């Protein structure tokens, strides 16, 4: 059997949702400072997003790292594309790049 159900699930989520944050915990109750930081940034921009708690499923926690070939969580996806983890998203927010990416992808924000 060549299919990978975790990879297929991740692929489906990032395809079907404009903005997806794979994180530890939930947007209401982040379970790590890095996830909380990205949630704060998304809230600041007023971006609707889907938060997915990787702590609920060990195969998802490992699978998302392999999916993006990125070793850490959180991971932000916009319109199916991996944007980055906490440090990258924070830097992009500070230098205006995140607002531009969201605008270019047609994502409405309430700030910026």
92/1 Cα distance (integer angstroms): 40
pTM of structure: 0.94
44/93 Cα distance (integer angstroms): 10
What are the tens digits of pLDDT across the range 33-70?
A: 999 999 999 999 999 999 999 999 999 999 999 999 99
Assign residue 89 a region (left: φ > 0; alpha: ψ between -120 and 50; beta: otherwise).
alpha
Domains of the chain, by residue range, sit at 5-104
Domain 5-104: which CATH class? alpha beta
59/51 Cα distance (integer angstroms): 17
Q: How many residues are recorded in the chain?
A: 112
What are the tens digits of pLDDT across the range 2-20?
A: 589 999 999 999 999 999 9
């Amino acid at each position: 059997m060549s299919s990978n159900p975790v990879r297929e699930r991740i692929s489906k989520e990032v395809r079907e949702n404009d903005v997806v944050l794979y994180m530890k915990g939930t947007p209401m109750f982040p379970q790590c400072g890095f996830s909380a930081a990205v949630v704060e940034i998304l809230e600041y921009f007023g971006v609707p997003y889907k938060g997915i708690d990787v702590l609920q499923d060990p195969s998802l926690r490992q699978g998302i790292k392999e999916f993006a070939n990125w070793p850490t969580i959180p991971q932000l996806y916009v319109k199916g594309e991996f944007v980055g983890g906490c440090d990258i998203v924070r830097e992009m927010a500070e230098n205006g790049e995140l607002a531009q990416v969201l605008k270019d992808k047609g994502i409405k924000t309430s700030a910026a």
